Amino acid sequence: MPEMPEVETVRRSLQPLIKGKTIKKVVVWYPNIIMGDSDQVAKRLKNKKILGIDRYGKYLLIRLSDDLTLVSHLRMEGKYRLVTPDTPKQKHEHVEFIFDDETALRYDDVRKFGRMHLVETGTEKQTTGIKNLGPEPNSSDFTLDYFEKALIKKKKNIKTSLLDQNIVCGLGNIYVDEVLWQSKIHPLSIASKIPAKQVNDLFNAINSTIKKATELHGTTIHTFLDADGSMGGFQDFLKVYGHAGEQCLNCGTTLEKIKVNGRGTTFCPRCQVEYK
């Protein structure tokens, strides 16, 4: 699933491809991708100019003329690619934006989980899933004091708490496994029971890991590609995710994999302490 570094990579690669273009027509092959009436959304998008692309957490915010924003969530396997309108449609392409310069942006999604929501610019935090998100890593709102107070209120395990997105947004399965290993916290630790030093270590690990992953254009495990069709580079720096059965780089203990709230979770049973 694209996490914050991957979505930021998509934003950076997609913006120069479509910024300044005007939408001439929208073709919707699978209406469920569009929130609301897909025909009405397609009509509202006609003749709108793309002003730029912002991002919050895992959401892309495609800014349009007339104070409209198309909020796009890629979910598990959504991706965009720029083609010409006469390019043969691929099996998993579900939405096409045809531009005035005879190029077209297509949205491809094998699992059809992605969603697009057209809203008035400035209302994203009230009208879309963004309203439920916590602050982003490395942002002014994500402070150690805030993080400590947020964890104290959580009675769930730390793995589930970080995946919920309402404490801090943008982390998925890959990066949560990595930052818990770095801070030596067992994934089943109760969030409110984690000592202050480990919370501090976790806070720093979240910020540094997301920063480095973004600099390396994200992590490609299975299908992630940016809008140029390029892979990420952070997969070469993963220490625990995807390494179950191998030796921990800290202590040499065999890394184990368990299920936490239905999500595959790799950790070191020796290094990572469980706080109850």
The 10 Å Cβ neighbour count of residue 143 is 12
Contacts for 213 with CB less than 8 Å, ≥ 6 apart: 3, 5, 175, 219, 232, 234
Q: What is the CA radius of gyration of the chain?
A: 20
Helix (H, G, I), strand (E, B) or coil at 120: strand
Q: Which of 114, 108, 76 is nearest to 94 (CA)?
A: 108
Using alpha carbons, select from 178, 227, 220, 235 the residue that is nearest to residue 201.
Answer: 178
Instruction: Please give the positions annotated as active site.
Output: 2-3, 58, 263
Alpha carbon separation from 136 to 127, 147, 166, 207 (Å, rounded)? 19, 11, 10, 9
Q: How many residues does the chain have?
A: 276
Q: Which two tokens stand for residue 156?
A: 């769930």
Instruction: Please give the Cα distance from 42 to 70 (Å, whole number).
Output: 11
The residue among 39, 65, 69, 41 whose CA lies nearest residue 55 is 69
